[in-house]
Amino acid sequence: MKIFDDAELKKFDGSNPSNPIYVAYKGKVYDVTTSPLFIDGMHFEHYAGCDLTDYMADAPHDEEVMGELAVIGEYKK
């Protein structure tokens, strides 16, 4: 699997329409390109291309939603 750091993950924030859209969570990188919840790389106040681990505690859902997404890499800070 590909390893992403902050700089690499940021390239997949939804700002470039030719790139897929990715987020990191608990050390894994997920593809959210086809998710209707990440239109243009944004999910409510959370941006794609970032590690969303610290925000899950405040979410109205639990981490089970991540199981619906494809893991495409590993995230290393």
Locate 43 and state its tokens.
Answer: 């999910």
The CATH number for 2-75, chosen from 1.10.10.10, 3.40.50.720, 3.40.50.300, 3.10.120.10, is 3.10.120.10
Residue 63 or 53, more confident: 53
Q: Per-residue pLDDT tens for 12-49?
A: 998 898 999 999 999 999 999 988 777 777 666 778 99
C-alpha distances out from residue 28 to 3, 17, 18, 68, Å: 9, 22, 22, 13
**pLDDT given at position 59:** 64
Nearest one of 49, 53, 45, 57 to 33, comparing CA atoms: 49
pLDDT category at 70 given cuts 50, 70, 90 is: very high
Cα–Cα distance measured from residue 13 to residue 42, given in angstroms and rounded to the nearest whole number? 8
